[in-house]
Structures are given as structure tokens and as C-alpha cells.
């Protein structure tokens, strides 16, 4: 493919790109109004948001397809989620296609319309669904996670369309549910969807904005361990005086947790990734996250069982299968060394797992996106590798399509326990421009038509 498709530096590409970016400037009020509309529609639910997205894209003459799917029925590669960890019930994808002339590279851009449950809207200073702009920030439910990504993709496509530009390569835009293993983008990818590259539009959770490109996503494995104990042999309702004759499940759980910590330390020495090492000094971790045992008010009874949950982050190219095998082996070794655990083996449940992905900075897609960010914002982007289980993994893991993520400044994400979730207005408009510039540079142009 002609190398000019990966750069904005040649005069012809600069001219058409400038025209498109000017269209974003001229229609900034319309763009912000669309983002505000999506925020307001969150109060009505995900389907209302998807209907608005479909209508906006249809108005541009795009071929739009809305498809209902069940996450449980989506075929996935190197990924799993138990029923309790997976989104339940039917969901809806919206996919728009704009055919190019067939002489350029194809691009898939995607984002997710689903937010945290709106029932959790407590403690906000602003009406969560009013899209209040204050001090240059637009606040709203799900605005940073990920309505800003949805709206940025739609507005970039609209700017290209209104400028009268025809693309050389095919462009696909997908608004796909993501949270709680909703598998929207996986469903799209497994429906004969193909592209030469993919961009995931999502504001930067780190707070750094477009100086960061998501090019690496570690894998994640989540599991639980259930351990039983043995109450003392007594008819007394209280166990305290007999506690030394009991087997407390916490004692046995501590043995298993110690085994996981030893494995964690060994993996930390053995599993190394340069980008992760540079960022946080560690490439993999095992986190013990939750523990449940006993019943409220029963202060004098030995608990009958205990359950703890844990998760493991692991960088590419490690696989789910190899990491799971290490967890199983570490726990099995401890069980075999303890007479009670051998007689009463713990129950290990693997709840969910995804495989990581990585795109090198030398990849043409990375060079294209980095060039668009530099051209529009003046920033020199770098890789932020700290996006465990990010949706950027899906195109590469599921279909071998290199994928990157980027987005505007944001903060106070509801998912991270914040309130008054926001995106920076001017930086979000730059995100729209970067999206448009990257589309033009990657897909190439095939001339102009009457706008």
C-alpha cells in the first residue's frame, strides 16, 4: 500500500484533512449537542442511546445495521466468563459501514454505549443527565465511559461526509456494549467483519488525555476459592471455649493465600515486560480482593466455610491456559501437603479470563495514530501499558486485527468510584479531529464530491 496513506505530511493529505478539521470547528455546537443528547438518553436506557446513534449515521447515508445478540452465544477466542460474571440477556449492536473505493486500507472504529447502572447516581453536584458544562468540562452519566467515544466517532464520520470527501478504504463504526463481558465488539468481529486496523475510542482513564496511546493490554484471570472448616465436637451453641478443637477455614485459606503469594513473587521475577517494568516496576500481579466467612451476629460460632476471590494480571504473550495452570499447580501443591485440605479439598472456580494484546510502536497503525495526534494537538504521544483487560485486545485476539485506543482528558469516572464524571470540552473536540485525521491518513482519499 502507498506509504502516503500513513502520513499527514504530504500537501494533498494536509489539504483535505484541514478541510475536515475545519468542518469540526464549524459544527462544534452540533457536536456538543449530540454528546449532550446521548447523556440525556442514558436515563432511558442503552437502547435509546443506540437508536440515536443509528439515526445519526443513517442521516449521513451510511449502511447501518442494528443487531440483537446474546453475550452467552458469542463465540470468543482465548476468553471465557462464567454465567455470574457475564452480562445476561439480549443486547444490541449498531454497526455503520461506509464503503471506500477499494484502493485504500480498511478501518474499524468502535466504542461502547453502556455505562454503569444509573441507579447508582448518588452524590453528584450536577444532574447526571443534564450535560452541565462547568469550567470547560461537560459532566454527565457515562460521558467518559464511553459516550464521548461514541460521539467522537460519529462526529468524525459526519465531518468527513460533510466535507465532501470520499475515502479510498472502507470505514466501519461499531457502537457495541462492553461492560461485564457484554462481548459486543466480539459479536461484530465474529460476524464476518474484517479490517486492516482498528481504533478504540475511549477517554483516557489515567487523566493524561491524548498524550497516551493504548497499545498494550495485559490479560486478566479472575477466580474464587472456597475452603471448608470443621466445627468443634460439642452440643453447646457457643464454640468459643472449644475453638482450639475446631478447624477454622481461615487457617486453611491462609495456607492457600500464602501459596498464591509465593507464586506471585516468583512470577514477578520471571515474567518481565519492558513497558510495564518502566511504568510500575512490575509486569504481573496476583491480587487477593475479597473474602467472606461467618454470619453477622454469630460471634461465638466457628464458620463452616470461607470464600476468597483473586485476580491475576499477565502481559502478552502469556496465555490464559498457562496462567491458569500455574494457579492450579500452586494450590494443588499446598493441598497435598496438608492432611485436612487433602481430605477436604478446596473448590476453585475460574470466573472470567481474557487474553492480552500488544501493537508495536513501529506498526503502521501506531505511526498513523501518533501522527494524527501530533498534527492536531501538538502532543508527542507515548504508550500507556496500564490498561489491563482493555477492549483494545478484542480485534487482535479475536480476528488478528491490530488495534489501538486513545481519548480525551476525563475524570471522576463512576466506575472508579467518582462522581460528576466529566470530559474536557476542548480536548474532546480535539479527539473528534484526531479521529477524523487518523481515518483519512489510514484509509486514504479518493477525491471529493459535492458536499
SS (H, E, C) 356-372: CEECCCCCHHHHHHHHH
- What value does the mean pLDDT take over residues 246-259? 97
Distance CA 169, CA 250 (A): 60
d(CA 427, CA 431): 6
What's the pTM? 0.91
Residue 254 has pLDDT above 60, yes or no: yes
Distance CA 444, CA 404 (A): 19
pLDDT at 11: 64
CA–CA distance, 137 with 427 (Å, rounded to integer): 10
For residues 408 and 203, is the Cβ–Cβ distance under 8 A?
A: yes
pLDDT of residue 372: 97
Residues 12-61: tens digit of each pLDDT? 678 889 999 999 999 999 999 999 999 999 999 999 999 999 999 999 99
pLDDT tens track for 282-324: 999 999 999 999 999 899 999 999 999 999 999 999 999 999 9
Average pLDDT over residues 340-357: 97
Confidence grade of residue 413 (pLDDT, cut at 50, 70, 90)? confident
Residue 192: its pLDDT value, please?
80
Q: In this predicted structure, what is the pLDDT of residue 161?
A: 94
| Domains present along the chain, CATH in parentheses | 3-216+358-448 (3.40.630.10), 219-354 (3.30.70.360)
Residue 264 has pLDDT above 90, yes or no: yes
Q: What is the pLDDT of residues 63-102, one digit of tens each?
A: 999 999 999 999 999 999 887 777 888 999 999 999 999 9
Q: What DSSP string runs through 26-66? A: HTHHHHHHHHHHHHHHGGG-HHHHHHHHHHHHHTTT-EEEE
Q: List the Cα angle 54/58/60 in 5-degree steps.
A: 125
* Closest among 373, 365, 368 to 401, alpha carbons compared: 365
Average pLDDT (378-395) is: 94
Structure-derived torsion over alpha carbons of residues 204, 360, 265, 257, reported in degrees to the nearest 10: 50
Say what the pLDDT of residue 417 is.
Answer: 83
Q: What is the pLDDT of residue 419?
A: 87
Among the residue ranges 69-83, 336-350, 352-366, the one predicted with the least confidence is 69-83
pLDDT number for residue 3: 36
What's the whole-number mean pLDDT along residues 188-207? 93
Res 6: pLDDT: 44
How high does pLDDT run on average in the chain? 93
Rounded to 5 degrees, what are φ and ψ at 387? -125, 70
The pLDDT of residue 9: 59
Cell numbers of 380, please? 508527542
171, β-bridge pairs: 98, 107
Return the pLDDT at 4: 38
In sequence order, what DSSP letters do the residues of 420-441 get, joined into one string? Answer: S-EEEHHHHHHHHHHHHHHHHH
Is it the case that residue 451 has pLDDT exceeding 50? no
- Give the strand pairing for 422-424 and 137-139: antiparallel
Above 50 in pLDDT, residue 1? no
Chain centroid offset of residue 285 CA: 19
* pLDDT score for 12: 65
pLDDT at 117: 84
Strands, E assignment, 161-304: 165-167, 171-175, 197-201, 212-213, 216-217, 219-228, 285-293
Q: Where do we find the cell 518481565?
A: 272
pLDDT at 120: 66
449 pLDDT band, cuts 50/70/90, is low
- Write out pLDDT tens, residues 198-230: 999 999 888 899 999 999 999 999 999 999 999
Q: For a pLDDT cut of 70, what percent of the chain falls above it?
A: 96
Amino acid at each position: 500500500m502507498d506509504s502516503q496513506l500513513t502520513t499527514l505530511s504530504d500537501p494533498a493529505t494536509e489539504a483535505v484533512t484541514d478541510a475536515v478539521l475545519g468542518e469540526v470547528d464549524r459544527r462544534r455546537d452540533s457536536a456538543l449537542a449530540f454528546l449532550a443528547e446521548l447523556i440525556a438518553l442514558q436515563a432511558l436506557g442503552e437502547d435509546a442511546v443506540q437508536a440515536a446513534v443509528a439515526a445519526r449515521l443513517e442521516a449521513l447515508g451510511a449502511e447501518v445495521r442494528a443487531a440483537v445478540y446474546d453475550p452467552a452465544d458469542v463465540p470468543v477466542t482465548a476468553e471465557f466468563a462464567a454465567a455470574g460474571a457475564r452480562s445476561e440477556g439480549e443486547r444490541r449492536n449498531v454497526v455503520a459501514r461506509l464503503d471506500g473505493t477499494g484502493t485504500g486500507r480498511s478501518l474499524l472504529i468502535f466504542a461502547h454505549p453502556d455505562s454503569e447502572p444509573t441507579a447508582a447516581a448518588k452524590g453528584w453536584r450536577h444532574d447526571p443527565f443534564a450535560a452541565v458544562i462547568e469550567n470547560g468540562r461537560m459532566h454527565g452519566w457515562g460521558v467518559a465511559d464511553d459516550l464521548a467515544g461514541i460521539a467522537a466517532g460519529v462526529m468524525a464520520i459526519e465531518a468527513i461526509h460533510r466535507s465532501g470527501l470520499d475515502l479510498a478504504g472502507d470505514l466501519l463504526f461499531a457502537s457495541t456494549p462492553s461492560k461485564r463481558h457484554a462481548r459486543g465488539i466480539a459479536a461484530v468481529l465474529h460476524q464476518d467483519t474484517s479490517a486492516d486496523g482498528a481504533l478504540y475510542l475511549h477517554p483516557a482513564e489515567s487523566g493524561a488525555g491524548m498524550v497516551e496511546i493504548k497499545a498494550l493490554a495485559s490479560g486478566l484471570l479472575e477466580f474464587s476459592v472456597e475452603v471448608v472448616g470443621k466445627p468443634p465436637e460439642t452440643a453447646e451453641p457457643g464454640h468459643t471455649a472449644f475453638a482450639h478443637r475446631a478447624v477454622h477455614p481461615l487457617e486453611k485459606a491462609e495456607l492457600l493465600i500464602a501459596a498464591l503469594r509465593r507464586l506471585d513473587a516468583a512470577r514477578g521475577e520471571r515474567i518481565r515486560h519492558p513497558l510495564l517494568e518502566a511504568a510500575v516496576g512490575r509486569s504481573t500481579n496476583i491480587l487477593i480482593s475479597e473474602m467472606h466467612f461467618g454470619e453477622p451476629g454469630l460471634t461465638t460460632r466457628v464458620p463452616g466455610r470461607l470464600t476468597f476471590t483473586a485476580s491475576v494480571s499477565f502481559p502478552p504473550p502469556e496465555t490464559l491456559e498457562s496462567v491458569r495452570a500455574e494457579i492450579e499447580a500452586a494450590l494443588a501443591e499446598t493441598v497435598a501437603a496438608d492432611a485436612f485440605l487433602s481430605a477436604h479439598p478446596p473448590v476453585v472456580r475460574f470466573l472470567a479470563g481474557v487474553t492480552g494484546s500488544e501493537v508495536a510502536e513501529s506498526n503502521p497503525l501506531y505511526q498513523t495514530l501518533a501522527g494524527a495526534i501530533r498534527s492536531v494537538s501538538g502532543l508527542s504521544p507515548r504508550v500507556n501499558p496500564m490498561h489491563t483487560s482493555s477492549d483494545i485486545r478484542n480485534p487482535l485476539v479475536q480476528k488478528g486485527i491490530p488495534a489501538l485506543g486513545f481519548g480525551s482528558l476525563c475524570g471522576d469516572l463512576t466506575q472508579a468510584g467518582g462522581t460528576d464524571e466529566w470530559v474536557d470540552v476542548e480536548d474532546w473536540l480535539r479527539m473528534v479531529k484526531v479521529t477524523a485525521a487518523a481515518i483519512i491518513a489510514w484509509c486514504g482519499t479518493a477525491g471529493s464530491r459535492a458536499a
